[in-house]
Structure 1
Amino acid sequence: MRPVEPATLTGWLTRLHLTAIRDQLDSLLDEAARQDLSLRETLAFLCEREIARRDERRIEMAGKIAHFPCARDLSGFDFAAQPSIDARQIRELAACRWVAHGEALLLLGPPGVGKTHLAIGLGRAAIGAGYSVLFVSAPALVAGLAKAHAEGRLDERLGFYAKPKLLIVDELGYLPFEPDAAHLFFQLVSRRYERGSLLLTSNRSVGEWDKVFGDPVVTTAILDRLLHHSQVVTIRGDSYRLREKRRAGLLGGQAAPAA
């Protein structure tokens, strides 16, 4: 075979969309030579790097589409600070079998105990496993559904929220729903029932959700679908944020202890 010019090889790799190999070709070939890889092993090595780059890009793009409010992952969660949480259970949830089966997950507990951190971490784990994810706060979700309903676009909006394999609804219960909003939320739950997974975080126990939705009948219908295939993680303990303020002596008029 005649010698191939570097520019020609770069063009071929571009046409084949092998951009990771193209951009790192010299360093990758040098690494293969240092490891004394055979031709077959070198080809496998190049393919691994290309796949790894594509996975990185896919995860980065999926994270942007998910609209996470901040960067969090499970490795950064302080399980020692929340002993009520079973770290092994969270690791099992991170395997995303519940997402594959279209089940629901409820993270319940007072403000500041890490519910949103866990929700984002599990959402990122789902993206890593190849699932589509969307994160939205409960007030924003309800406002979006109500606006679409008023404009005659409710079915379109429900379809948007039904599309991702995992929909994360954060902060359910901090503000009560209007009666019409509760019915709209029920339609969303029904649309996703046994088709896509829902992860809900709430500062209220399930027994208090009738106060959130304002209609016992609608609440029962929602819970009937949510709890049919679900797992519930109840978190107890103090708020991280308030705990740090207490340590700094910023609450209750206490001064910070001397070092």
Structure 2
Amino acid sequence: MTRKRGLTEEAATASINQACRMLRLPTIRQQFKDQADGAAREQMSYRAFLTELLMAECDDRARRRSERRIRAAAFPREKSLRAFDFDANPNVDPATVNTLATCEWVKKGEPLCLIGDSGTGKSHLLIALGTEAAMQGFRVRYVLATKLVNELVEAADDKQLSKTIARYGRVDLLCIDELGYMELDRRGAELLFHVLTEREEKNSVAIASNESFSGWTKTFTDPRLCAAIVDRLTFNGSIIQTGTESYRLAHTKALAEQTAAD
């Protein structure tokens, strides 16, 4: 680019556009004209104007990085803590969930278990807390327990098991949903055991299960293996019991009553 003094407004705009493309500053390229007009109206200093532009670019980059991490997590649907109806499920303590939303447990590599019947909000909380972690800069991956086991078995058959386990081990938080819906054979149980217990100290795992820990023997039929997994997940971990009454039905009923009242 050739730098010239005394540019016309049109030439200056074109030069800024070109420079922003070269420097990969899409937000500044989109906003600089409006920001410049606003700065002129408010008689902002050059430093203040530059600060506004740069902060807008930084904020937008942070937002895009967050969106990429959420997409990479492969959540099946969008769920947020704001949308969780605590009144519909009094078993879930809002203070506990808000503490988990700080993601200190992910930073420390601690596990989380969500235990309760179907429809009590386990998956909602699992996805919402995983989303919070992704928004705060952690690498997250969501997977159904059955899908994970099938993937591990296929990887073992193809002699790619170490690579697959390492790939899951690189994420900061592994969210495993619907554990307890199936009975694993010895091979599948041992492979899942490796993923749950051989992750690095800094990495966390969060599990949603419709079975209490005592019922995990239906999934892990080897008692010693089952005990080892439960010990790993409960040591310094958090446990949320979502209960037995359907959160989904209670939440839908509450929304219907609110709509009728309005």
TM over 0.5: yes
Structure 1: how far apart are the matches of 2:49 and 2:41? 11
Structure 1: how far apart are the matches of 2:252 and 2:102? 35
Q: 1:208 to 1:237 in 2, by over 3 A?
A: closer
Which deviates more from structure 2 when the two are superposed, residues 34-43 or residues 52-61? Answer: 34-43
Q: Secondary structure at the match of 1:73?
A: coil
Q: Secondary structure at the match of 2:113?
A: strand
Q: Secondary structure at the match of 2:219?
A: helix
1:3 equivalent in structure 2: 6
> Is the 1:84–1:237 contact (alpha carbons within 8 Å) kept by the matching residues of 2?
no
The correspondence of residues 53-202 of structure 1 with structure 2, limited to 5 A, is 53-202=60-209
> Is the 1:193–1:225 contact (alpha carbons within 8 Å) kept by the matching residues of 2?
no
Structure 2: how far apart are the matches of 1:61 and 1:138? 23
The correspondence of residues 37-48 of structure 1 with structure 2, limited to 5 A, is 37-48=44-55
Q: Which amino acid aligns with 1:107?
A: L
Unaligned residue ranges in structure 2 (runs of 5+): 255-262
Aligned residue pairs, count: 247
The match for 1:20 among 23, 27, 38 is 27
Structure 2: how far apart are the matches of 1:246 and 1:191? 43
Structure 1: how far apart are the matches of 2:179 and 2:64? 32
How high is the TM-score relative to the length of structure 2?
0.89
Structure 2: how far apart are the matches of 1:152 and 1:119? 31
How high is the TM-score relative to the length of structure 1?
0.90
> Is the 1:108–1:204 contact (alpha carbons within 8 Å) kept by the matching residues of 2?
yes
Structure 2: how far apart are the matches of 1:37 and 1:246? 52
1:234 equivalent in structure 2: 241
Structure 1: how far apart are the matches of 2:91 and 2:114? 12
Q: Secondary structure at the match of 1:232?
A: strand
Structure 2: how far apart are the matches of 1:153 and 1:66? 22
Structure 2: how far apart are the matches of 1:51 and 1:245? 39
Structure 2: how far apart are the matches of 1:244 and 1:81? 5
> Is the 2:66–2:136 contact (alpha carbons within 8 Å) kept by the matching residues of 1?
no
What do the CA deviations read for 1:4-39 (whole angstroms, capped 9, x no partner)? 422222111222221100112111222333443221
RMSD of aligned C-alpha atoms?
1.8
Which deviates more from structure 2 when the two are superposed, residues 104-113 or residues 18-27? Answer: 18-27
Unaligned residue ranges in structure 1 (runs of 5+): 248-259
> Is the 1:82–1:237 contact (alpha carbons within 8 Å) kept by the matching residues of 2?
no
> Is the 1:148–1:154 contact (alpha carbons within 8 Å) kept by the matching residues of 2?
yes
